[in-house]
Structure 1
Amino acid sequence: MSSYAIVVRAFDGEAPYLQSFIDYHRRLGVEAFYPVLAPGAAPLCRDIFAKNQIRFHESEGQRIGSVQDLIREDYVAVIDADEYLHPDLFRFLDEESVESLLMPWRLTASLDDDFFESAQKKFFVFPQVKSIVQTSALKRLRLHASNTSGSGRCLGIAQGQQFPVQHYYLRGLDDLLLKEGGVVRRTLAQSSGRKQVNLNADADADSLDFPSRHARVAFLLNVLETRPEQLDPYSMTLDRSMLDYLRNSVHGDPDAAKQALRDSVARIQRVYRKRTIHREIRATQQLLASDPHKVSYQKRVLKLLRRDFEFRQSWLGLFENARDSLLMNRGRL
């Protein structure tokens, strides 16, 4: 039987969900965790790791390469605390001689704060990848696809689709609040997705300003509206006392902040055209069938958003907007 390790970056916004992440992967068979924290940051996560007898490691910028030489297990994966390895993955690796395996994201998200623990969810598989690699062949540990230098079998997304990484992309508005509300000291992990985006068609048009994470969430929510609900095979738990503690750390009114976040995401959702969403679902399915190495989720989402924003500023787009508004008022859309 092989041994397995996980490298994970963590920050205190993940604290209400972190114990669930640890418990699940221990049940799966993970023998060692290598958390990478920013120096002096994430005191809540430090307490959780200490309670679970997991040693954490400090690195400026949370560089995961800082723990590469410490790993002694047979296989290692780099995942975030909102990502979960497939329950059949380790059995497959035990039975097969594999040097590396690329696994696509199986995304799910909601603005509903009760969503994380709910049994039913909607899912969308996208060819942004995570990898699990044989430590003896590891050349460079990376966030998505680690490099190896051996001569073994390196399996791509075609095989990895059997073992997608379940990515709880947004676990509710509380989750977004902890990521955006200045609750904890900013680290590399916390600031990811906060790149400011500004959409302007011309000087007289309305602008749309938002963190890039909002666009990624808005796109996914629109896609998930078209997906059927399925049973979530992963049993999730949320530390609500920890969540309440962090909510109380938010400057100002948390509920007002959450409503502002909801409005921001909803405004972006309205920019995406329905035909764009349906076309992108088909294009993603074709991409997965072609066994790509990796596709950048953020770049793709922002490209589609800019294209739809420009269209909606055109005369044809203004006509379409007026038609959609009329149909919506009549209750037909």
Structure 2
Amino acid sequence: MPTTIGCLSRVYVGEIPYLKYFIEHGIKIGIDTFYFVFPSDAHMGALSDIIKQYPDHCQIIVEDQGRNVNHALRIDIQSVKTDYLVSIDIDEFIYVPGDVRLGDYLAEKDISAARLKWIMSPRDFDEHTGPIEGFKGHTGKNLARTSLITGIKNPHSFDSTEEMPFSKDKGVKLVHYWGRSFEDIVIKCIYQNLPNRKRSSLEEMTDLVKQGKIPERLRVLASLASHENNRVLHNHMNHQLRDRALEQDLLKIASKTLLDDVEGLYRQFKAGLDYDTQVGAYPKLGNIYALGALLSE
């Protein structure tokens, strides 16, 4: 029997321009079942319409009203029927050496669990039509046999009754597109109400722009997008990341004047960054929040 792979992902309305490409890439590398978790049915809409285009590969899990997107991953692990499970976000893409399916690779290498360290590949205005490039991130996500998992501890790790037997094999890569475009991060600033430092809203962004400032998430993108890439992945898995028309549909909630001002302030902030202290400090700082705090000083 083929080794089956499940992918657990949280979704919110801002993923409408990107979800299709995440699913199609996952199917290409051998994801058998996507478990998409919504924090409430109020977030479904057009997202569920996209997911329903792939009925053989996708399941929708709706959490209770009021659950935020971070908590939404705490699902009943018994509902996962695949041999393996990986928990990744829609902006994280797995790459497998060669053209083999992920399940076949894990079986061949006899891998029961793996830490998939991030390769950061942030984008703002550069389409990156050549080979996929990136640099080392500070953390990553876990993949493991479902039989070893007792629950979802947080977006980056699983609960288990025993120590995870993490493989030393480094063949499988996890590329984190921390910004699939400049518009992606603006959309996140407007729509993604995360309960952490990256939280913002259209109203908060508008107030910041009036002060000649940009949201912390955009400051972080400016730093990450200024990094010197030092890792190149093979081009055979190059793919599309976004639907520009759908991005523009989501951005219609904001005025053109505001969006132009945000872009102008972003470009100004990015041009003024000091590489050693404000760009090269990551990933040595240890996490994105520390980078955000540094850039807010």
TM-score range, shorter chain: 0.7 to 0.9
Counterpart in the other structure of 2:124 = 111
Alignment counterpart, residue 149 of structure 1, candidates 154, 161, 164:
161
Q: Cα distance 1:279–1:143, how it changes in 2: closer, same or farther (>3 A)?
A: closer
SS in 2 for 1:258: helix
Q: Is 2:247 aligned against 1:235?
A: no
Q: By how many angstroms is 1:103 displaced?
A: 1.2
Alignment counterpart, residue 77 of structure 1, candidates 65, 86, 89:
86
The 5 A counterparts of 1:51-62 are 51-53=53-55, 54-59=58-63, 60-62=67-69
Counterpart in the other structure of 1:275 = 276
Counterpart in the other structure of 1:35 = 36
Aligned partners of 2:221, 2:279: CA distance in 1, in Å? 16
Equivalent residues of 1:272, 1:305 under 8 A apart: no
Can you list the C-alpha shifts for 1:9-35, whole angstroms capped at 9, x where unaligned?
A: 111211111111101111111111110
Counterpart in the other structure of 1:102 = 115
Alignment counterpart, residue 176 of structure 2, candidates 167, 174, 196:
167
Q: Cα distance 1:25–1:14, how it changes in 2: closer, same or farther (>3 A)?
A: same
What amino acid maps onto 1:11 in structure 2?
Answer: Y
Counterpart in the other structure of 1:66 = 75
**Which consecutive unaligned segments of at least 5 residues does structure 2 have?**
202-210
Q: Cα distance 1:152–1:106, how it changes in 2: closer, same or farther (>3 A)?
A: closer
Q: Cα distance 1:274–1:80, how it changes in 2: closer, same or farther (>3 A)?
A: same
Q: Cα distance 1:229–1:38, how it changes in 2: closer, same or farther (>3 A)?
A: same
Can you list the C-alpha shifts for 1:50-84, whole angstroms capped at 9, x where unaligned?
A: 22223311112231112422101111011111111
Aligned partners of 2:233, 2:116: CA distance in 1, in Å? 20
Aligned partners of 2:25, 2:148: CA distance in 1, in Å? 27
Counterpart in the other structure of 2:198 = 193
Equivalent residues of 1:11, 1:187 under 8 A apart: no
Alignment counterpart, residue 138 of structure 1, candidates 133, 138, 149:
149
Q: By how many angstroms is 1:192 displaced?
A: 7.2
More off after superposition, 162-171 vs 257-266: 257-266
Aligned partners of 1:278, 1:151: CA distance in 2, in Å? 35
TM-score (norm 2): 0.78
Report which of the two structures shows the higher radius of gyration computed on alpha carbons: 1
SS in 2 for 1:265: helix
Aligned partners of 1:31, 1:44: CA distance in 2, in Å? 22
Aligned partners of 1:147, 1:263: CA distance in 2, in Å? 44
Q: Is 2:28 aligned against 1:24?
A: no
- Aligned-residue Cα RMSD (Å) equals 3.1
TM-score (norm 1): 0.70
Aligned partners of 2:244, 2:271: CA distance in 1, in Å? 32
Q: By how many angstroms is 1:268 displaced?
A: 4.1
Counterpart in the other structure of 1:223 = 227
Aligned partners of 2:164, 2:89: CA distance in 1, in Å? 26
What amino acid maps onto 1:17 in structure 2?
Answer: Y
Q: By how many angstroms is 1:263 displaced?
A: 3.6
Equivalent residues of 1:177, 1:257 under 8 A apart: no
Q: Cα distance 1:75–1:211, how it changes in 2: closer, same or farther (>3 A)?
A: same
Q: By how many angstroms is 1:160 displaced?
A: 6.0
> How many residue pairs get matched?
273
Aligned partners of 1:240, 1:94: CA distance in 2, in Å? 38
What amino acid maps onto 2:182 in structure 1?
Answer: L
Alignment counterpart, residue 176 of structure 1, candidates 166, 182, 185:
185
Q: Is 2:252 aligned against 1:245?
A: no
What amino acid maps onto 2:33 in structure 1?
Answer: A
Can you list the C-alpha shifts for 1:80-106, whole angstroms capped at 9, x where unaligned?
A: 111111223544311233332111111
Q: By how many angstroms is 1:146 displaced?
A: 1.6
Equivalent residues of 2:185, 2:217 under 8 A apart: no
Can you list the C-alpha shifts for 1:110-153, whole angstroms capped at 9, x where unaligned?
A: 221x616x234541121311110111010221311223224662
SS in 2 for 1:102: strand
Can you list the C-alpha shifts for 1:239-294, whole angstroms capped at 9, x where unaligned?
A: 344334323x32322xx33333334434543564223367547x75xxxxxxxxxx
Larger helix percent: 1
Q: Cα distance 1:65–1:27, how it changes in 2: closer, same or farther (>3 A)?
A: same
More off after superposition, 76-85 vs 37-46: 37-46
Q: By how many angstroms is 1:223 displaced?
A: 1.2
What amino acid maps onto 1:301 in structure 2?
Answer: L
